[in-house]
Amino acid sequence: MNTLIPLDKSWLTRVGALDVINGYSDIEKFIANQKDTNDDILAIRNASISWRNNEEINVGESATLYRILKFASWKFKLNKIFACPKCKREILASEISAKCQNCKLSFKKRGGIWNFLYLPNRITSKSLKSYDSMHKIDFGGPIDGSYEILSSIARGNKTVDIACGEGLIERLSPDIVGVEFSINALNKARAKGIKNLVLADAHYLPFRENSFDVAISSGNLEHFADPKLAIDEMARISKIQVLIVHREFDLPFIRTLRKIMTNLLNIKHQPIERPLKWSEIETILKKANLDIVFKGFWTLPVNYGRVIKLLPVFNNIPSCFFVISIKK
């Protein structure tokens, strides 16, 4: 039989393409055991290896393989940026669903929004309820031009915006992938016509390593239960990180003072509010193996509500750090 029926390259190419797009590598083993191969047959094996390793596929001279893979990517709208938010194993998503082969978690896209929400942290999941109700009314954002600047950094790059809220940056640069854990916020972004939206927790991002050139986190690190874990995740998925972080002053007893003032003046806005000292940001970035290239201030003034009326000097103190880091 073996001598009478030789390997058929077009049959192997078709079966191999099915294996590749379904995340199996059996075709590689099959081809490795064959004596009688040719360029077309080796091309399907190489395609399978490249696909598994997240590399660009070189189809060589095989026009059949090229046509089949091109058709399959169109047909299934295959998406290769997702990973399981829990175990980080790479996930091949179809147009509407994805499943982790390792932990069997499944994820769906509904109403144009991918749901990759994985919330093991109790503090985070508790704060989600407050954020969801806060996003029932319009959140608003700075009107000083900072969002125009951030969106221009994003343009032309593969960019992800962590905790994108109602999509204020995405409205200016629609190619950005916006990540947010409040569905109410994302629904609002969606209603404004924003396309690339993912419901996920910043501490457990559903993307593969190095999926993005740039990750932006604008004014949200201070609202996370674990800013270190959030930075580690940003470092995992992106090369360059642009951070705007609410600033804590490097003064003794500052957190106690802030607590007293916040309670006294009743100016707590969000469930978690913990501005960061420069030394804390520096430590977190270093531990994530990131080099700090730019560090400075965003000129948005400190806003202590009623305090400013009493002490107008606060009006001249910038409220946020502006940091750009790069993966070593």
Residues in touch with Zn ion (CB under 5 A): 84, 86-87, 89, 100, 102-103
- Only one residue has tokens 């270190």, namely 228
Smallest distance from Zn ion to CB 151, Å: 32
Shorter beta-carbon distance to Zn ion: residue 7 or 92: 92
C-alpha span between 57 and 51 (Å, rounded): 7
State the SS3 of 232-286.
Answer: HHHHHHEEEEEEEEEECCCCCCHHHHHHHHHHHHCCCCCCCCCCECHHHHHHHHH
Shorter beta-carbon distance to Zn ion: residue 52 or 86: 86
Smallest distance from Zn ion to CB 86, Å: 5
| Residues sharing a CB contact under 8 Å with residue 94, sequence separation 6 or more, in sequence order | 76, 77, 78, 79
Where would I find the H helices in 166-253? 183-191, 227-237
CA distance to 63, 231, 263, per residue, from 26 (Å): 22, 37, 62
Comparing every residue's Cβ against Zn ion, the nearest one is 84
Shorter beta-carbon distance to Zn ion: residue 63 or 103: 103
Shorter beta-carbon distance to Zn ion: residue 83 or 216: 83
Shorter beta-carbon distance to Zn ion: residue 87 or 317: 87
Smallest distance from Zn ion to CB 199, Å: 17
**Residue 183 dihedral angles phi and psi, to the nearest 5°:** -65, -35
- In our burial notation (b when 16+ CB lie closer than 10 A, e otherwise), range 266-293 reads eeeeebbeebbbeebbeebbeebebeee
Smallest distance from Zn ion to CB 33, Å: 31
Where would I find the H helices in the chain? 9-21, 26-32, 39-52, 63-76, 122-134, 146-154, 183-191, 227-237, 254-265, 278-287, 306-310
Shorter beta-carbon distance to Zn ion: residue 59 or 100: 100
Smallest distance from Zn ion to CB 207, Å: 13
Shorter beta-carbon distance to Zn ion: residue 88 or 223: 88
